[in-house]
Structure 1
Amino acid sequence: MTDLAIVDADPTPLTATVGTKFAYGTTGVREALLSFAVSAAHDILEEEILIHAGGKQVEARELAGNHGTRLHVVDEVGDGWLEVTYRAVVDITRPTGDQVGREIDFDRWVFTRPSRYAESDRLAPMAARLFPSQSGIERVNAVGEWVNTHMAYISGSSRGTDGAVDSILQASGVCRDFAHVVVALLRALGTPARLVSVYAPGLQPMDFHAVAEAWVDDAWHIVDATRLAPREAMVRIATGRDAADTAFLTTRGGRTTFNRQVVTAALTEGRLPQEDPSALVRLA
């Protein structure tokens, strides 16, 4: 499925250099699916991808997904180390026109349904009590504000299996947990919402970052309830229903052991924008 069309865009350009280096020990792994590349929705000025598996350099097959998502498949990973080095220079241009096309109608239905980590059906009564009268951008801002106030950002406080319900009960988590709660509450209120993995210049501590996107005022807009980085400088990687669709590493067969990971994201042209949580901000 091709992506939506952007009309009457008014560019506000920034240039960022982003990348990652990570390594996992592998035993008997048949295939690995990697999600680290900048989305094709961006204008990528330079890009380098270097992958090693089992002690030798390998070429990965690139798969094109929805919304510009680019996945890379490594076959016959085997035993040893799976190592990835990635670097890209990206021209960040924010679209401001209407988003149109048949894909929009499809997405607005798909991203209103409950999903593995965004259990909007279970949260519907709670969402109705918390946000009984808001609509449009007022609703989106109210949900983002509630999640920011209710939850504490604590590294290592959540499990990879936690969904939005778990995160609300624990009142803590990391970026993906904040995004899942935002997505689930908005869907419970009838607002289409989805999860996006991003590179985020200005993020501290630096890592892969996850944010929500909400359909409001005829376009997708970023909602980052962590408020840890300016949304204007973010660079899209992958887009999906929740973290199950945007994981940066998925394997078939065998087992993997984490070794190391470094993520970089910095502006090389332009100044880091000041964040205004109430402003409407869109990703390419």
Structure 2
Amino acid sequence: MHRRLVSSNLRIQVSATAQLVFSVAVSAEHEPAQERLSLTVDGDPIDVEELLAPNGGRLHRAVNVPVGQLIVDYAATIDGQAPPAPLQGIDEVLYTRPSRYCDSDRLAALSGAHFDGLEGSALVSAVRAWVHDKIAYRSGSSRGVDGALDTYIARAGVCRDFSHLAIAFLRARNVAARFVSVYAPGLKPMDFHAVTEVWLDGAWQLFDATGLAPRQAMVRICTGRDAADTAFMTTLGGRTQLESVRVEAQIDGDLPSDDGLGLSLLS
């Protein structure tokens, strides 16, 4: 795999002393050749604590962030591939249960109607194709509180909505599936991206129901039940206003070719 260069810059107005958590650093599965993370308020650096989340996610917590403009600036250079993600002891239970945005219990009857009689790779392929073909990718079409059933009804959403619906369909068929935030070279417009991993044939395998970027070039950030576990910014206390987000993801060389139809390991 070619070298990948990823970065993100968040500008946040803090209007009351805040506690914030960020998920912008690449997963602990990667060993970046270069990496930097800085947090400043009105130009002054502030302390940050790194916390390791399940499945390799690296969260950065800042407490008692003072009033002012907070800038979070991150960049990393990734060489080579991360090892395949292992199956943790709890994964097949955790990622088969309904969750905040993947309300598979509410979609059980619908999933049964759409995918009755399918299992294994045939089921996964059918779910990916259904979400890709039936849901329109439309920026700004969904709310931050929308779950998989809302997306099913609206027939439109952004990448997180595509992933939530695919995950909910699979969990409703008793298949372990999970939500992954990534940097995605080739994505247009560039932003943080969300994809789906499913436990199949003894490995966590990746699909992207949006088909908007080649999977082979993606870099894992965080893994969880749904977007609640992987949000790039969480305000735990105080008052904040996100002013801007800038994300960059590039690959040194040509982008891989990806028809989006099969399954792939996330590198």
Q: Do the aligned residues in 2 keep the contact of 1:199 with 1:265 (CA within 8 Å)? A: yes
State the shift of 1:42 in Å. Answer: 1.5
Paired amino acid for 1:167: T
CA RMSD between the two structures: 1.4
Candidates 242, 247, 254, aligned match of 1:271: 254
Extract structure 1 runs of 4+ deviating beyond 3 A: none
After superposition, the C-alpha distances for 1:199-247 in whole angstroms (9 at most, x for unaligned) are 0000000000011111111111112100000001100000000000001
Output the TM-score relative to the length of structure 2. Answer: 0.96
| 3-state DSSP of counterpart to 1:254 | strand
1:1-284 equivalent positions in 2, closer than 5 A: 13-93=1-81, 95=83, 103=88, 105-268=89-252, 270-284=253-267
Q: Aligned letter for 1:250?
A: T
Distance 1:283 1:177 in 2: 20
Q: Deviations over 1:242-280 (max 9, x none)?
A: 000001111122211121111000002x42111122222
Give the aligned partner of residue 6 of structure 1. none
Q: Tell me the secondary structure at the aligned position of residue 122 of structure 1.
A: coil
Q: Are the counterparts in 2 of residues 94 and 282 from structure 1 also a CA contact under 8 Å?
A: no
The percent identity for this pair of structures is 46
SS at match of 2:107: helix
Distance 2:122 2:259 in 1: 14
Unaligned runs of 5+ in 1: 1-12
Contact 1:17–1:88 (CA under 8 A) maintained in structure 2: yes
User: Would you say how many aligned residue pairs link Structure 1 and Structure 2?
Assistant: 267
Code of the residue aligned with 2:23 in structure 1: it is S
Offset of 1:59 from its aligned partner?
2.7
1:198·1:208 contact (CA, 8 Å) conserved in 2?
Answer: yes
Distance 1:252 1:94 in 2: 31
Instruction: Work out whether residues 200 and 235 of structure 1, in 8 Å CA contact, stay in contact via their aligned partners in 2.
Output: yes
- Quick one: structure 1 residues 129 and 92, their matched pair in 2 at CA, closer, same or farther if it must change by over 3 Å? farther
TM-score, normalising length: structure 1: 0.90
Q: Which amino acid aligns with 1:66?
A: P
User: C-alpha distance in 2, partners of 1:50/1:282?
Assistant: 31
Who is 1:3 aligned against? none
In structure 1, give the amino acid aligned to 2:266: L
SS of residue matched to 2:146: coil
How far is the alpha carbon of 1:54 from its aligned partner? 5.0
